[in-house]
Amino acid sequence: MRIFLKSKIHRATVTGSDSGYMGSISIDSGLMAAVGIGEFEKVAVWNIGNGERIETYALKAKKGSGEICLNGAAAKKFSKGDLVIIAAFEVTEVPSKPKIILVDKANRLEKFL
């Protein structure tokens, strides 16, 4: 078995952070559905501006809200306005074509890549 990219939300803008929350990243559920990320699924989050990289799990935020909110300890590594890449992976022998989207500054789906 090997690990392959399954889903990616490219250049999303962090809309907030909550260090008091127990952990995770809240993502607009419409974006999650577009790329096939499930609630509580493990994701990698990469900060384009400062190079920070974390692993956490996804939580659904309101569809159409554009929310990308880092929670818990991750809130110390990401700030409102940061650009990030959110990726999910699958363990398989036969990879499928990953679902990759580019979002605009308001975190609305701009196009599939």
Residues with active-site annotation:
24, 57
Closest C-alpha to 89, from 2, 9, 4: 4
Beta strands in the chain, from DSSP E residues, in sequence order: 2-13, 16-18, 24-28, 42-47, 53-61, 68-71, 83-92, 99-103, 109-112
Token pair belonging to 88: 């999910």
Q: Which two structure tokens, joined as six digits, stand for 32?
A: 């999650």
